[in-house]
A and B are shown apart, each in its own frame.
Chain A
């Protein structure tokens, strides 16, 4: 809503020097979002006067038409002589009244005017167009359209045009929130301004309105819920040629609307003034009584914008005998609109609309909102009805429209006044007088509360318990807190005290939250950089990952309205996003990359039922909450890493080594350590990993994830660096596996006994199995065990490998003898032999 300051002053006697910015500050504090204050005519300086074109000489020989004009500017030029002006526009004639800027004047944009030689003549000023005067480009009609302004003939030459055209003004541009429908009008903004300044309001809706009677235009409302009020008035003998006066056009322009024709301009003007959308019908194009009902299946309507629309049975429509003639509260139909005047060249007679039926109705906000959304048709009317229009303003708005048609178009008001009203009681809300105090946390006192509510327009009764009748223009005031907000905002949010509540002791972060932080820190500490990628995926990337058709990771939640049709699904694995980010970094020249992400993945069963629709006037039952949750997919937290290039770069310190499957597995171990669980690694084959370099990650018997080098085909398909490796695991399963508090180890101070063994096993035997067997066989004396070499070659034999372990033995109560240590070692080797077929090397 754009509110010109000059217009606002009509309803509120603001202090003379008050600027738009001053008003902005007050209104912002009162809760109106005044986004900016536009300065109209900034930099404009006269003399700018009305001129009468006396003579026009068409100059020839130039690329475009050029006119040399003599213009009477009265005594504004100090001589009274006609002013010689060169002009490039052609939309004016001898005798027309135009707007002239004289030498010494300045146009907006610091355009200094002086007498100068041009096209072989001396031009002493300029004949102005609307755009040159900064009047905006939304202009048509008598104020000149795109060309020179041609004024109505009654204005005297020499009259100051800055004042005449109200060129200097300030306009408040206000973003009206959905609850403040009444501020979609000058009346509403004036009310807020008056309250903010503590000044009286001249309410433009306070008009004398004749009582309804039975001889007005007939209206039948078949849907009193959709339309609880319909006022119809008729004005006849309207002069179809009458044009909107300058002040009316200028106010519309400043408010951001385009002057069209007098009748339409008047309905728009009254809408801006009072907030009541109106519609004007050409009575001679109406066929029988006006009706209001829902549309019938198959009905169509061509709206004013020329679009033919198939109507929905939910649409509320205005009808006559011919069928729908308008979308109620949204847009009128083309067939009954006010006709443009047409002059019959033979007779000189002007034909156009001379009898007008005015509609001022109140429609259900929800019905209007749905229709506007359904037809993607947001109009000035629908914007207001959606937010709530003052139903009590309808008859005043109709009266104001009638008055203006009589005043400006020479019309005659017919005596018939139609009002179809479904009565409704005024809404009252009871609140304790100190309710606003308790909401705010400060003491306003009853007197202030009552005064502020009255300023809002409420009637207030009662002492400790207030019975508040809310004004008809505030449908948003329904609850006690709504009233509290009115009081608090008018008293100023800036005056609220600043206190802190006394909280009960909190329990800090949960185990799971702590774990995620530790995981993030330790991976970052291990050289990984965290990324947060978008969770949107498509089939293409799942194909690239080589997932089989039946892979559960292909069963994804899909979006109705994805940003890209290529990626309509929600991720079931973190890898697509991470690998995409790796590729992007690689493409930008990064060589050695290690990235990690933790986040939700979405794992639907595909059988989730739809969630029930639940009421909000009570807590849902546990069953109902369960039904809501059952509609949602499983959404566990995953952690994943990807790496490529060198894990350790080579440098002056020596060789580096490439990132590989082992780093990916190690990342899983890092996470497992943070989770306090033992990770068991087994050989596996699983997409998208290299079938020979893929580890399955277990906690106990539960599979929690995979790690390893990616399949070469995946690397090729996704255009990734060679040997890219990856790990992904389900963090929640790790969390759940976490045991109780750790039992501290006993630290023995007796000396250690070290024994090395080299075991030969089949290549296929996992080292993890050999180690487990050694540990099991060595018994309690084994303090530590380390694999220090893996070797295969001719000496070992085909299909074999040698694993060399350092075993450290220690007892808690004595120094071990060499015999004891050897016995423990031998026991370990025996168990390894039994379980893995290991043979002591050299034995």
Chain B
């Protein structure tokens, strides 16, 4: 920078003449406008706003002016530089927006492409349905009880008031386990020992629960059970049950009914209810068969041939399973005082519920483990 030159006539400084300043400004603005892209704009920026740009050089001359002229010249140059910078910023923003728009368009992809890189798995619907049922009761305060699948006869039959010659034993076809190394079932009544079986229901878990806990006992027993049926469209030798047991002071059949009503509402929606029909089971007295209102037609198909219901065969009710008040003999066998405590119990097959809840037509689909059947059920049911 040159020192102030007192002998110098400011008017004669060419670069600070107003028309010169205006020219420089306009040239700069024109150059920005002419810049076709951000690189060109950068060059124009260096040329018109950099240290060697005409306006920068003009600015340097201000110091050489006499004091009275400095203010006016400074103001003139400052205004010009302000306008130039503003034009630069505006053009830069404009060019960046244009660039962004262009690049983002270039970067566009087909978002509808499928992505099956890590295909999802699924839990078996029997598991998820069983869990869901259990959760209804866990929310009420029940606990989930479990037991062995290979079970002593005493737990599976005797303690449940199913005596050795009771006709009820012929109602269930039982898998018997070979005894130790002796190889052969201990047949007949003369033997001093009992048999070991594949449990035919989850009721032995009820017995174990009563033996393990002090009343009150509120448990739900889901699990695998076995009967000697061949696999076909409606039967399987290995299936799943959920049973419930409540033993407390003062429990009634009305409590049983209410609990069943609550369950079907939780699983099938508001307005669902159950119906009890007298039946016979050795482990309950009184005993009942339980039906639920058909959740599809809600009974509208009954006597209405124009609107038949496949789910309930236009019966209006769907058979669920068996239930009743725990036979006091069962309580006695488990060391629970039947004069003080009463209880209720029910049980039903999960396969059956899965079939009518999800319109499964063939039991084999549930059993065979074909991934095409299971995958759509996902994680929850």
Contact surface of A with B, Cβ cutoff 8 Å: 28-31, 33, 177-180, 366, 369-370, 373, 386-387, 438-442, 479-482, 484-485, 488-489, 493-494, 496-501, 503-510, 513, 517, 520-521, 523-535, 557-563, 570, 581, 584-585, 588, 590, 592-596, 599-600, 602, 606-614, 616-620, 625, 628-629, 631-633, 635, 648-649, 651-653, 656
Given contacts A31-B278, A501-B255, A606-B180, contact A594 B121 (CB under 8 A): yes
The minimal Cβ–Cβ distance linking A464 to chain B, given in whole angstroms, is 16
The minimal Cβ–Cβ distance linking B101 to chain A, given in whole angstroms, is 27
Closest B residue to A612 by beta carbon equals B193
Interface of A is mostly: loop
Interface membership of B167, Cβ < 8 A: yes
Given contacts A31-B278, A595-B369, A606-B181, contact A635 B149 (CB under 8 A): yes
Interface membership of B143, Cβ < 8 A: yes
Given the complex, which residues of A lie within 8 Å of B150, measured CB to CB? Answer: 557, 570, 602, 632-633, 635
Chain B, 366-381, CB within 8 A of any chain A CB: 367-372, 374-375, 378-379
Given the complex, which residues of B lie within 8 Å of A629, measured CB to CB? Answer: 152
CB–CB B288/A610 < 8 A: no
Interface membership of B23, Cβ < 8 A: no
Can you pick out 7 interface pairs between chain A and chain B where the beta carbons lie within 8 Å of each other?
A31-B278, A438-B342, A493-B276, A559-B176, A616-B159, A628-B154, A632-B196
CB–CB A616/B332 < 8 A: yes
Q: Mark B136-160, 1 if CB is under 8 A from A, else 0.
A: 0010111110101111111100110
The minimal Cβ–Cβ distance linking B291 to chain A, given in whole angstroms, is 11
A612 and B167 CA atoms in complex are apart in Å by: 23
Residue pairs across A and B with CB atoms within 8 Å: the count is: 298
A489, A498, A529: the one contacting B261 at CB < 8 Å is A498
**Besides A524-B121, A610-B180, 15 other A-B contacts (C-beta < 8 A):** A440-B253, A481-B285, A481-B325, A493-B253, A494-B275, A499-B257, A501-B251, A520-B123, A521-B123, A524-B123, A600-B149, A602-B149, A610-B179, A616-B159, A649-B116
Tally of chain B residues near chain A (CB < 8 A): 109
A520, A588, A618, A632: the one contacting B127 at CB < 8 Å is A520
Interface membership of B211, Cβ < 8 A: yes
Which 5 pairs of residues, A with B, have the shortest CB-CB distance?
A: A619-B335, A441-B252, A31-B278, A441-B254, A485-B286
Q: Name which of B4-12, B34-42, B79-87, B184-192 contacts chain A.
A: B184-192
CB–CB A496/B140 < 8 A: no
Interface membership of B237, Cβ < 8 A: yes
Interface membership of B266, Cβ < 8 A: no
Closest A residue to B196 by beta carbon equals A631
CB–CB B194/A611 < 8 A: yes
CB–CB B279/A31 < 8 A: yes
A33, A526, A561: the one contacting B121 at CB < 8 Å is A526
B121, B126, B154, B287: the one contacting A525 at CB < 8 Å is B121
Chain B, 243-301, CB within 8 A of any chain A CB: 246, 248, 250-255, 257-259, 261-262, 273, 275-280, 285-289
A529, A560, A606, A625: the one contacting B211 at CB < 8 Å is A625
B124, B146, B153: the one contacting A531 at CB < 8 Å is B124
Given the complex, which residues of B lie within 8 Å of A656, measured CB to CB? Answer: 117
Interface membership of B68, Cβ < 8 A: no
Interface membership of B333, Cβ < 8 A: yes
CB–CB B261/A440 < 8 A: no
CB–CB B117/A649 < 8 A: yes
CB–CB B277/A506 < 8 A: no
The minimal Cβ–Cβ distance linking B258 to chain A, given in whole angstroms, is 4
Given the complex, which residues of A lie within 8 Å of B179, measured CB to CB? Answer: 610
Interface membership of B133, Cβ < 8 A: no
B251, B288, B325, B369: the one contacting A581 at CB < 8 Å is B369
CB–CB A504/B154 < 8 A: no
CB–CB B167/A386 < 8 A: yes
The minimal Cβ–Cβ distance linking A522 to chain B, given in whole angstroms, is 10
A415 and B141 CA atoms in complex are apart in Å by: 71
Closest A residue to B254 by beta carbon equals A441
Closest A residue to B146 by beta carbon equals A513
CB–CB B141/A504 < 8 A: yes
Given contacts A31-B279, A499-B255, A613-B193, contact A557 B177 (CB under 8 A): yes
Closest A residue to B173 by beta carbon equals A561
CB–CB B254/A498 < 8 A: yes
Interface membership of B106, Cβ < 8 A: no
CB–CB A179/B280 < 8 A: yes
CB–CB B195/A611 < 8 A: yes
A33 and B112 CA atoms in complex are apart in Å by: 58
Given the complex, which residues of B lie within 8 Å of A608, measured CB to CB? Answer: 180, 196
Given contacts A533-B369, A590-B371, contact A479 B278 (CB under 8 A): no
CB–CB B177/A31 < 8 A: no
CB–CB B258/A499 < 8 A: yes
Given the complex, which residues of B lie within 8 Å of A570, measured CB to CB? Answer: 150, 198
A499, A524, A558, A600: the one contacting B252 at CB < 8 Å is A499
CB–CB B285/A479 < 8 A: yes
The minimal Cβ–Cβ distance linking B134 to chain A, given in whole angstroms, is 8
Chain B, 209-261, CB within 8 A of any chain A CB: 211, 216, 218, 224, 228, 230, 237-238, 246, 248, 250-255, 257-259, 261
